[in-house]
């Protein structure tokens, strides 16, 4: 009798984990058949914690009972086949839905007073930011909360709480105000009554700042998820995979990213706001792996992540050096 015969048909047993009452071996038992559990962690990130093999999720049984159970091959007193996490009744064949790790953050820019936004001078008005950050890792800017009504109309800000918030806090603050986070499209749209962007001039002096650019701009959280274009891997340069002749002077991290993005083999780049030399952007191949060279501490090395991100057009080189 094989395991399929023993575990299907009219048997209504959901199955359970069992363990020898004075031993350590754990088994999955179903319909009179046992399967040995290879390790306590084998179902981590596959089953919910409450349904993983260890952590006292078993029922103690005497060895005589365990020996009496059949194995997948129909034998007694042997371990038989290994347990598969997919055998558990709580296994979900549908892909697990995970929360996005990044959301678009947008500069609140009063164009009616400061002039139209200029990507070349300022960088992108929106940026893909990790949900747990409260400041911009590329400068002195910070994240803040600015909410919308259910209809998408901008709301006045709470100056006591709006500064230096992460995504979760911003969501909670908007709910407490009777609103919600705006979408990125809502933030960038013009209010039909005032002709201004939805969130500008809503108080607390968080717009802009007017003279700032890149990472020194403040940005408000939106409810629009995104995938990052690049992620930091370590300080300094990459020790391997340098693309010869690729060192240049760039005006922003986005510009250095764009340079790497324009080269098919580029998988990493290193950028510094204050390199102290004639160049501040270096490119490296994906195949090189970007091992840490433990040098150039003013630089940060980034990996191209292939996200569906939004970036400025590839800019003109400031001071190419070959």
Task: Pull the structure tokens for residue 317.
Answer: 């080189």
Judge whether residue 197 has pLDDT over 50: yes
CB within 8 A of 118, min separation 6: which ones?
none
pTM: 0.56
pLDDT in tens, 120-173: 899 889 999 999 999 998 899 999 999 999 999 999 999 999 999 999 999 999
pLDDT in tens, 269-283: 999 988 889 999 999
pLDDT number for residue 26: 87
DSSP H or E stretch at residue 271: strand 266-271
Average model confidence (pLDDT) for the chain?
85
Domain 230-304 class, CATH top level: alpha beta
pLDDT in tens, 258-314: 899 999 899 999 999 888 899 999 999 999 999 998 889 999 999 998 765 544 333
Judge whether residue 97 has pLDDT over 80: no
pLDDT number for residue 155: 95
Cα separation of 23 and 290, whole Å?
47
Cα separation of 139 and 142, whole Å?
9
Cα separation of 269 and 307, whole Å?
16
pLDDT in tens, 172-193: 999 999 999 999 999 998 877 7
| Of the candidates 110, 120, 115, 113, the residue with the CA atom closest to the CA atom of residue 214 | 120
Q: pLDDT class for 14, splitting at 50, 70, 90?
A: confident
Task: Pull the structure tokens for residue 58.
Answer: 């078993």
User: Residue range 211-228: average pLDDT?
Assistant: 93
User: Residue range 78-98: average pLDDT?
Assistant: 76
Strand 281-285 and strand 300-304: the pairing is unpaired
Q: Where in the chain is the domain with CATH 3.50.4.10?
A: 230-304
pLDDT number for residue 211: 95
């Amino acid at each position: 009798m094989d395991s399929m015969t023993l575990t299907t048909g009219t048997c209504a047993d959901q199955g359970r984990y069992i363990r020898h009452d004075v031993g350590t071996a754990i088994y999955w038992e179903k319909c009179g058949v046992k399967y040995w559990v290879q390790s306590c962690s084998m179902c981590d990130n596959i089953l919910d914690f409450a349904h993983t093999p260890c952590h006292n999720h078993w029922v103690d049984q005497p060895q005589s009972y365990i020996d009496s159970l059949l194995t997948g091959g129909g034998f007694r007193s042997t371990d038989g086949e290994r347990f598969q996490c997919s055998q558990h009744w709580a296994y979900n064949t549908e892909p697990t839905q995970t929360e996005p790790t990044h959301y678009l953050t947008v500069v609140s820019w009063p164009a009616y007073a400061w002039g139209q936004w200029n990507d070349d001078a300022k960088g992108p008005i929106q940026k893909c930011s990790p949900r747990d950050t409260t400041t911009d890792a590329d400068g002195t800017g910070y994240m803040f909360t600015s909410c919308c009504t259910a209809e998408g109309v901008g709301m006045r800000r709470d100056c006591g709480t709006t500064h230096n918030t992460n995504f979760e806090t911003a969501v909670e603050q908007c709910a407490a105000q009777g609103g919600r986070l705006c979408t990125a499209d809502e933030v960038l749209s013009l209010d039909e009554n005032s002709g201004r962007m939805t969130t500008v001039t809503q108080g607390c002096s968080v717009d802009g700042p007017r003279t700032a650019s890149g990472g020194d701009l403040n940005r408000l959280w939106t409810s629009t998820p995104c995938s990052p274009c690049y992620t930091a891997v370590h300080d300094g340069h990459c020790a391997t995979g340098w693309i010869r002749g690729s060192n240049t002077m760039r005006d922003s991290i986005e510009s250095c990213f764009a340079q790497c993005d324009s080269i098919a083999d580029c998988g990493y780049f290193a950028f510094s706001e204050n390199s102290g030399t004639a160049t501040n952007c270096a490119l490296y191949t994906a195949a090189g792996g970007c091992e840490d060279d433990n040098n150039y501490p003013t630089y940060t090395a980034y990996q191209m992540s292939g996200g569906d991100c939004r970036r400025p057009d590839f800019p003109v080189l400031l001071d190419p050096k070959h």
